[in-house]
Amino acid sequence: MSVLVVEPPARLVSLEDMKAHLRVTADDEDALIEAYIDAACGWLDGPDGWLGRCIGSQVIEVFYGSGAGAFPYLREPHLTVPIGPVQEVLEVEYWGHDGVGVALDLAGVETRRDLIDWGAAATWPSRTNRVRLRYRAGFAETPAPVAQAIKLLVGQWFRNRSGINIGNIVNQLPNGVKALLGPYHRRRV
């Protein structure tokens, strides 16, 4: 199975909101602040992010092949996606051993957090060679606790522009950031 971000999310916190948080009124450090926002969002969000889920609205594509990454044939009427939450299913296509791709009719498909409920909509062949699932994941708007955590991280980086802080105790994440992100962190199995 491979997971790909086809359409990345927009910034989770705007430059204007970040500058207000930092109490910065000049424009001469906008590029630096934007780089910090992008770094914080990249660290948190998406398939490779620390949270283990999508925060910003983005299009995800999952390819299931044969072997260990094989598509889990539907014994149940639902599928747990590797990265969610799912907003909507955009496309499902499967290929049989004849190499011909078939688009699945998505009428009646419903989504719930990290689940796609196929109900009676899906009629799968007994065997497929490969399945491609494309869906929109993330939240329509950045949850307030996640936006605040990003502001705290960027604020810390903006004020401490070095990887080493001499003379102080070394800290990991600020406790406030961990507390804000805790409910959104997906435990990886």
Q: What's the pTM?
A: 0.82
Domain closes at, from 101, 117, 137: 137
Contacts of residue 122, defined as CB under 8 A and 6 or more positions apart, other chains included, come to 74, 77, 104, 109
| 129 in a structural domain | yes
25, 72: one domain: no
150, 178: one domain: yes
For residue range 56-74, what is the model confidence (pLDDT) as tens digits?
A: 999 999 988 765 556 665 5
78, 46: one domain: no
If you average pLDDT over every residue of the chain, what do you get? 84
pLDDT at 167 over 50: yes
User: Domain with 47 in it: what CATH number?
Assistant: 1.10.3230.30
Average pLDDT (39-55) is 94
87, 48: one domain: no
How many distinct structural domains can be found in the chain? 2
111, 160: one domain: no
**Does an H or E element contain 32, and which?**
helix 30-44
pLDDT at 173 over 60: no
124, 174: one domain: no
131, 163: one domain: no
38, 15: one domain: yes
Domain closes at, from 102, 122, 137: 137
User: Other C-beta atoms within 10 Å of 129: how many?
Assistant: 18
| 189 in a structural domain | no
For residue range 104-126, what is the model confidence (pLDDT) as tens digits?
A: 888 888 888 888 887 665 666 55
pLDDT in the model for residue 12: 96
111, 158: one domain: no
Q: Provide the edge-to-edge strand list for the sheet that holds 101-103.
A: 2-7, 58-64, 130-137, 86-95, 101-103
| 112 in a structural domain | yes
What's the domain range around 50?
A: 2-54+142-184
pLDDT at 135 over 90: yes
